Amino acid sequence: MERTARVASTPTPEPLPAGDVAALLDGVPRQRGPGAAPAPGLPRTALAARSWCVPPWRLLPSPTGTPVTFAYAAILALTSLFASWASPGLLYAVYQDSSTDVAHLLRTPVFVLLASALWIAGGLLSPYAFAFVLVLTALERRIGGARAILVFLAGHVLATLATEVPVGLAVLAGRLPDTSLHRLDYGISFGVAASIGALSGLLAPWLRWSLLALVGYSLVTDLIAFQDPMTNWGHLISLGIGTGFWPLVRRWRRERVQALALAGAVPVAP
């Protein structure tokens, strides 16, 4: 009652002219917390509506909208065409030189870790080729090209090491033959799985968990089939690596939204 009485006795301030109000608001620092209002020109309702009104062609990479994904996809298309026309002997030699097997990782680690990501196992019709185009495009639009490639390479490199280092140790312990040191290992699948994991953290909850459940079920099914357990374990590891990027990709997304707002542009999706 005492607090209410004091508030009631406070004189009502005179309303300020519209220009003075605008000047005062310009002096108030914008907040960045989760409950803060959206940046000017980006109301929450508009952003939510735009997430469901994305033109179909914006799901694909473009030289202006997603230049990094577009350039990478063009390189993968060229290497896939080379693989479809090269002789079997030449193609095997190129794959072997690009392989991230234990022997090559010990000799030229940086070269093979980069070269192995220039090939699509299964060619342009591989499911990972379609996933690469859709997922990397969506990720680049949300966090930028350099950061999207950073997530991709983190999954590719870390999952490769997580699967190949145990092979080398098993050979040293006599549990695997020496031929395991030269097992062909190349492709973009680890990076794609990590990108899927990272992208899911930027989606609506129902879509996030649906995507993770679908992809996780597919990867676990492949692992149970036991046709290529080392690669299948690598896919699960890289998916986990991608989910570990959630705090970073969410921060990068907020920074990108603010940068686009200041530039007067509206992002594709929140």
- Please report the pLDDT score of residue 22 as a whole number: 41
State the Cα torsion 83-84-88-89 to the nearest 10°: -40
Sheet strands (E) in the chain = none
- Please report the pLDDT score of residue 237 as a whole number: 97
Contacts (Cβ under 8 Å, ≥6 apart) of 120: 76, 79, 80, 126, 128, 129, 132, 187, 188
Tokens representing 202 are: 């930027």
Cα-Cα end-to-end distance for the chain: 45
CA 138 to CA 148: how far, in whole Å? 9
Residue 191 three-state SS: helix
pLDDT (tens place) for every residue of the chain, 270 residues total: 444 444 444 444 455 444 444 443 343 334 344 444 444 444 444 444 444 456 776 789 999 999 999 999 999 999 999 999 999 999 999 999 999 999 999 999 999 999 999 999 988 999 999 999 999 999 999 999 999 999 999 999 999 999 999 999 999 999 999 999 999 999 999 999 999 999 999 999 999 999 999 999 999 999 999 888 999 999 999 999 999 999 999 999 999 888 878 877 655 555
Q: What is the pTM of this model?
A: 0.78
| Secondary structure, 3-state, 181-233 | HHCCCCCCHHHHHHHHHHHHCCCCHHHHHHHHHHHHHHHHHHHHHCCCHHHHH
Give kind and range of the element (H or E) at residue 2: helix 2-9
Query: Nearest 5 degrees, angle CA 136-CA 138-CA 140?
Result: 65
CA 208 to CA 202: how far, in whole Å? 8
Other beta carbons within 10 Å of 171? 16
CA 124 to CA 52: how far, in whole Å? 28
DSSP letter at 174?
Answer: T
CA 235 to CA 244: how far, in whole Å? 14
Asked whether 170 and 180 are in contact (CB, 8 A), the reply is: yes
